[in-house]
Amino acid sequence: MTFHEPKDPRVIGKDGKPKAPKHYENALKTENKEVLDKPISPIGGNRLTAQNIIDIHDDIIAIYGGTKGVLDRGTIEYLVYQLDRRNDIFQTSALVLDIIIAKHPFVDGNKRTAFEVADNLLRYDGLHIHASEEEVQSILLKIAKYECTAKEIEKWLRKRVRPLHLG
């Protein structure tokens, strides 16, 4: 899902297409069964850190454009604290979407970052969001407008998340 065209020439490949950040390399090898044994995000040892989230945000801004910067690291730390207390992937993904989008810890790219972090968490567990770009944009905008709760986001995810089919 692309919200903006890449603007940074350092992340454009010779073929004119955006290059994936180095820690997303496994995500691009979805036909390789080894992916199941390795994290596809910068999440080391199944633990997401505030710095992981910031790194994902910085990569998104570098690739698609926008203003880089953290407005409130405390919100990101609070999110990680909350995630550490949950075991359900749908709850954690919903919480990521809700907190990053509604609490706006970054200068720019909050919806893009939230979606990427949630998607990476799901893919780490062998799942993916099966929804059209319009459906995804619609839910992200509803979250940004405070028109849905974390429980409603979780319900939306449960209806649309499917297992990854690898090879």
- Per-residue pLDDT band for 47 (boundaries 50, 70, 90) equals confident
Number of domains observed in the structure of the chain: 1
- Model pLDDT for residues 68-86, shown as the tens digit of each residue: 999 999 999 999 999 999 9
3-state secondary structure of 101: helix
Please determine, for residue 27, whether its predicted confidence score (pLDDT) is greater than 80: no
Does a structural domain hold residue 5? no
Measured between alpha carbons, how far is 51 from 136 in angstroms, rounded to an integer?
Answer: 25
- Per-residue pLDDT band for 15 (boundaries 50, 70, 90) equals low
- Per-residue pLDDT band for 46 (boundaries 50, 70, 90) equals low
Answer whether 130's CB lies under 8 Å from 160's CB. yes
Taking the whole predicted model, whether its pTM rises above 0.75 is answered as: no
- Model pLDDT for residues 143-159, shown as the tens digit of each residue: 999 999 999 999 999 99
| Residue 2 structure tokens | 């692309």
- What is the predicted pLDDT for the residue at 44? 42
- What is the predicted pLDDT for the residue at 6? 37
Does a structural domain hold residue 9? no
The residue ranges of DSSP E strands in 22-139, in sequence order, are: 127-129
Does a structural domain hold residue 100? yes
Does a structural domain hold residue 3? no
Does a structural domain hold residue 58? yes
- Model pLDDT for residues 92-107, shown as the tens digit of each residue: 999 999 999 999 999 9
State mean pLDDT over 16-40. 37
- What is the predicted pLDDT for the residue at 38? 33
Full domain range(s) for residue 23: 14-163
Answer whether 4's CB lies under 8 Å from 140's CB. no
Please determine, for residue 7, whether its predicted confidence score (pLDDT) is greater than 80: no
Does a structural domain hold residue 153? yes
CATH number of the structural domain spanning residue 71:
1.20.120.1870
